[in-house]
Amino acid sequence: MKITLASSAGYCFGVRRAVDMALSGAPAYTTGPLIHNADAVRELESRGVRAVSNISEIPPGSRIIIRSHGVSAEEYARLSAIGPVTDATCPYVKAIHAMVARAAQQGVPVIVAGQREHPEVQAILARAGERACAVADEGEALSLTPLPCALVVSQTTLGTEKFEKICAALKTRVTQLDIRDTVCDATRRRQAECEQLAAENDVMLVVGDRQSANTRRLYEIARAHCRRAYLIEGAEALSGIDISPGDDVGITAGASTPRRKYEEVIARMNDIETKVNTVDENMTAAENAAEADFASQFEKTMVQIRPGQTVTGRVLGITEDEVFVSVGYKMDGLIKKSDLCDTDVKIDDEIEVEVVKVNDGDGNVMLSQKNIINRKLWDEIVAKSENGEYIDAVGKEAVKGGLICDVNGIRTFVPASQLAGRYVDKIEQFVGKEMKLKIIELDRAKKRIVASRKAVLEEEAAAKKQAIWAGLQKDAIVTGTVRRLTDFGAFVDIGGVDGLVHVTNLSWGRVQHPSDVVKVGEQIQVKILDLDPERDRISLSRKATMPRPWTVAEEKYPVGSVVEGKVVRLTTFGAFVELESGLDGLVHISQCATRRVEKVEDAVKVGDIVRVKVLDVDTEKKRISLSIRAVLEDEAMAGTGDISDEYAIDEDIPEVEAPAEEAPAEEAPAEEAPAEEAPAEEAPAEAPAE
């Protein structure tokens, strides 16, 4: 004989939860039988849980258990006035209560598919408004008055097939039908397993109370698929059933059937298999042995759990706020959706969970998925801290002294002084901002993290600067941007680091102040003269990127050409005129005017812009001879044809050469003159790279 017991046999989650909650607080009273099994009700009564038919039978101050079917809001209030109430309403049923209550508030009629006299249906109707009604089958559905809209829910133990037939009938009576399939997943699974076992075995036994709706439904399913299907309340009923040792037998039990009831049936079936049909004493001994063996085997399947333990469970059901998980323990577990990470979890999915409480006081095994994830995330953060790695964070709240950040759900504090390289006036600007942080303090015991954004910025800047320094080469010509000016030079950004162009290296000519040559924000080309990584200094030159004026002077200023220049210096023998930066020419006193002048300043002044004619260019001696007189004479000739007496020249005045000891010194090229270094107390010739 092969005996197969349905894995879903016996108490469902809601019933087991209600029984455990009742026993944990005995003595107590229930309004009506806690579950639909007379044998189980008698056992509960023997342990102090008494069922009453009327509220008036409950003594004031007594503990009251709301059974898994639930009650109306009015009845709940009346019970609360008598004594402390423990609500053992099945979470699936509670979800239906909330659903129909919302519909009633919106004025939507509610239809409950199920037996009107069933306490679960009555509790649902009581919360669904005055327009609510119940339909037990297709015929009742078809007899309803037509409605423009309605919400239909199901008694949790009705069965999917029957619910679908009722809905099909309702669609002919309701224009807009909002269908909510609230058949319990455990019921659905139990019925499907019953159907499969009935089809595969010679005999199908359904164990349970005949007053239980879900047990009767299981029997209907079994009978439809197995000719020898029987509904029995206990092992004693087997004596009237013809079962031979060669039969294959399938066994299931209703959701209100205690485990010991179907264990007794299995024990008796083992008797039949071994043909132990002796006197009652021997039979009893065999039953006890078989039952003990089965119980032993059954207990082996039950795991032991403890708070903090990580286990793998299978999802049994999902409501709006909770998820029910089988973890192999004698009670199924409950996860609040707020403690669930897999938001798309489905029935029969396997998930890893942590045991929070074995009993929360109401008989529930409380589980959490977030605890596991948080622990893993914490371990990852600790590892990153030890390795000096950064963590990704999001600013959540500005508080006194800093910013609270979220690091994968873990609270992290960033002091205001560690938010940036400079003082932060408005910490609120970082709320909602993604950022990288470096952990600077970690308390494992308190799971407290203090982190720094400033440290990340400084390290990233240092790494960037190091990469830039690695790419710089001495004597290279690069383009930079003038960042700031000082009396001794200009600081130029050459791609992330600043170098100094000393005032003597800004131009080939003499520069009084850097602002005379360049301005902030201007892009210029510079040559890298020297790199000093240890002192973090870079020396640059602008003039080194320009040709020396004297090397092209002969080409740019050919003899006989007329050009414009600025008088920059006066001497006793003439005036120096700047043609361009670093290139001056001499206008001899005899060439300053068409008439004789005693002093040069009688003809020109410093700052005058004058037109001059190039008389001679000597690049080797770095001398250019210029003439203002020649330009005036040429202009006069062009206007009159000869020179008037006003511009007559005294032929007796001899040409005077510039003193040899004076002229060369004045005309010395800029590159040969010693650099005018900035005083040490003002600034160094080279400033640190910024």
Residues known to be catalytic: 120
DSSP H or E stretch at residue 507: none
Planar angle of CA 303, 304, 306, nearest 5 degrees:
135
The single residue listed with the structure tokens 């499907």 is: 192
Give the SS3 label for residue 173.
coil
DSSP H or E stretch at residue 593: none
The single residue listed with the structure tokens 């002192």 is: 535
> Could you tell me which residues are beta bridge partners of residue 613?
562, 627
Distance CA 367, CA 358 (A): 9
Q: Are 21 and 67 in contact (CB under 8 A)?
A: no
Planar angle of CA 10, 12, 14, nearest 5 degrees:
145
Q: Which residues contact 436 (CB under 8 A, 6 or more apart)?
A: 390, 391, 392, 393, 453, 456
Distance CA 591, CA 600 (A): 10
- What DSSP assignment string belongs to 363-394? S-EEEESHHHHHHHHHHHHHHHHHHT-EEEEE
- What DSSP assignment string belongs to 112-133? EES-TTSHHHHHHHHTS-TT-E
Cis peptide before 659 (omega within 30 of 0): no
Please tell me the chain's helix, strand, coil percentages from 3-state DSSP, rounded to the nearest 5: 35, 30, 40
In the sheet that holds 64-66, the strands lie side by side as 49-52, 28-31, 64-66, 85-87
Distance CA 305, CA 359 (A): 11
Would you tell me how many other CB atoms lie within 10 Å of the CB of residue 128? 25
Distance CA 187, CA 160 (A): 9
Question: Which of the 8 DSSP states describes residue 683?
Answer: -
Pair type for strands 203-207 and 229-232: parallel
Helix H, strand E, coil C: the string for 216-252 is HHHHHHHHHHCCCEEEECCHHHHHHCCCCCCCEEEEE
The single residue listed with the structure tokens 């953060």 is: 381
Distance CA 599, CA 570 (A): 10
Give the SS3 label for residue 167.
helix
Pair type for strands 410-415 and 402-407: antiparallel
Rounded to 5 degrees, what are φ and ψ at 214? -70, -30
CA neighbours closer than 13 Å in the CB half-sphere of residue 647 = 18
Rounded to 5 degrees, what are φ and ψ at 501? -100, 105
The single residue listed with the structure tokens 């005077």 is: 656
Would you tell me how many other CB atoms lie within 10 Å of the CB of residue 121? 24
Q: Helix crossing, 213-225 with 185-200: angle to 10°?
A: 30
User: Which residue type is seen at 9?
Assistant: A
Q: Are 223 and 229 in contact (CB under 8 A)?
A: yes
Distance CA 168, CA 328 (A): 38
Question: Which of the 8 DSSP states describes residue 199?
Answer: H
Going from the C-alpha of 141 to that of each of 58, 99, 147, 663, the distances in angstroms are: 39, 21, 12, 123
Going from the C-alpha of 100 to that of each of 97, 125, 127, 172, 470, the distances in angstroms are: 6, 8, 7, 22, 72
